[in-house]
């Protein structure tokens, strides 16, 4: 896309100058793809919420049979809240800088769009 814009620019630089105001969208797209690849997927969350692992964490294993006892709903609910909160905090720490950069690109793209629209 950038190559096409550059070729159009060299063809008629006076008419295509304002197309470079839209390069903020390219930065937003790249940042968005990187952010999407760094945040955890839902299948990672589902694997971490296995009820067997919840029972194992609470040490509810029967010593005689070696089987896990059933997990109570409130215990499992608490585990879900803890896991989701921990996963969200970890994901936010991974992408916080990129989110700030994404905000800058969004503002720049909006300003560029406004200038191109009004000029």
What does the pLDDT look like over 35-92, one tens digit per residue? 999 998 888 777 777 766 555 555 545 555 555 566 677 777 888 888 889 888 998 9
What is the separation, in whole angstroms, between the first and last Cα of the chain? 23
Q: What is the predicted pLDDT for the residue at 107?
A: 95
Residue 61, beta-bridge partner list? 68
The pLDDT of residue 5 is above 90: no
User: How far apart are the C-alpha atoms of 22 and 111, rounded to whole Å?
Assistant: 9
Among 3-7, 21-25, 48-52, top mean pLDDT goes to 21-25
* Closest listed residue to residue 28, CA positions, set 118, 108, 119: 108
Predicted confidence (pLDDT) per residue in 56-65, tens digit:
555 545 555 5
Q: What is the rounded average pLDDT of the residues 8-36? A: 82
Give the residue, 98 or 21, on which the prediction is more confident.
Answer: 98
Domain ranges of the chain: 19-118
Residues 6+ apart with CB under 8 A from 93: none
């Amino acid at each position: 896309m950038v190559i096409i814009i550059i070729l159009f620019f060299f063809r008629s630089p006076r008419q295509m100058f304002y197309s470079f105001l839209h390069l903020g969208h390219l930065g937003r797209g790249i940042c968005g793809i990187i952010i999407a690849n760094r945040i955890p997927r839902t299948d990672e969350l589902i694997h971490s919420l296995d009820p067997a692992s919840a029972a194992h964490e609470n040490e509810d294993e029967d010593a005689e049979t070696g089987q896990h006892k059933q997990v109570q709903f409130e215990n499992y609910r608490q585990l879900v809240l803890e896991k989701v909160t921990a996963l969200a905090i970890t994901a936010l720490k991974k992408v916080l800088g990129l989110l700030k950069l994404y905000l800058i690109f969004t503002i720049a793209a909006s300003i560029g769009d406004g200038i191109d629209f009004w000029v």
